[in-house]
Amino acid sequence: MTHQQTSWNIAMIQCDVHMGRPAENRESVGRWMEQAVSQAVKPDLIVLPEMWNTGYALQQIHELADVEGSESRAWISAFAQRHKVHVVAGSIAEKRGGEVYNTMRIFDRTGQEIAAYSKMHLFRLMQEEKHLSPGESQVTFELDGQTSGASICYDIRFPELMRTLALRGAKVLFVPAAWPHPRLHHWRTLLMARAIENQMYVVACNRTGQSGQDHFFGHSMIIDPWGEVLAEGGEEEGILTGQIDLSLVDDVRSRIPVFEDRRPGLYHL
């Protein structure tokens, strides 16, 4: 039987990503991860940003993408096992069957990969749909006996997905992202709304830095089921930490019984 842990110390790696330089990015992310596990309060869980291996080098993405994600998966698995820490490994560009996907993979404390999610909604403003293939399935997974849901960046504009994940038992929504200016207000508002309406924690890790014309603003966030911001980064690189108490989810859901009061028979697409 899986041990159920109700409290997690979380460390999010809010870092720059060098466009089109996977080896350099892997080395950089590795340094940040080592720093995260060396802190006074060791994290239970590390979260990485979106497309941290290649950035949005979409013109070369078929050449740069990690085939089957094998290289990235091997070293993250080894890191998780070595440090006995969960890793929600942001997302990478990975090639499968001749197609490239924007894919998040999740590893538990033993280094075992327990889930993978490919971004369902591709962002036309960054021309993702011209170079990447969309994922076709929603994903929930269990860490320490607690159910979480997977999403990536643009996905948070689709509340149907988040509600479905919550109905499947997710108490935490993970959101690796590469969300740029000038849409900081959208980022903060959407994340808080997703937390409030689904009465879940939202753990969102956004990259920083400049890539072409895009300036990524960081502001990674941990938001509780009331919509309160527990931690928020600035625009600089760094490690954002915070603690979440998963028992609060059940408490909030019992106080305002949104899920019991739903009337799905009246909702039409």
- The residues that are catalytic are 50, 119, 153
- Partners of 7 in beta bridges: 245
What are the angstrom distances between the C-alpha of 44 and each of 21, 170, 233, 243, 248? 29, 18, 19, 9, 18
- Partners of 209 in beta bridges: 216
Query: Looking at this protein, which amino acid is placed at residue 128?
Result: E
User: What Rg do the C-alpha atoms of the chain give, in angstroms?
Assistant: 17
- Nearest partner of 64 among 26, 34, 90, judged by Cα: 26
What are the angstrom distances between the C-alpha of 115 and each of 103, 119, 140, 148? 10, 13, 8, 11
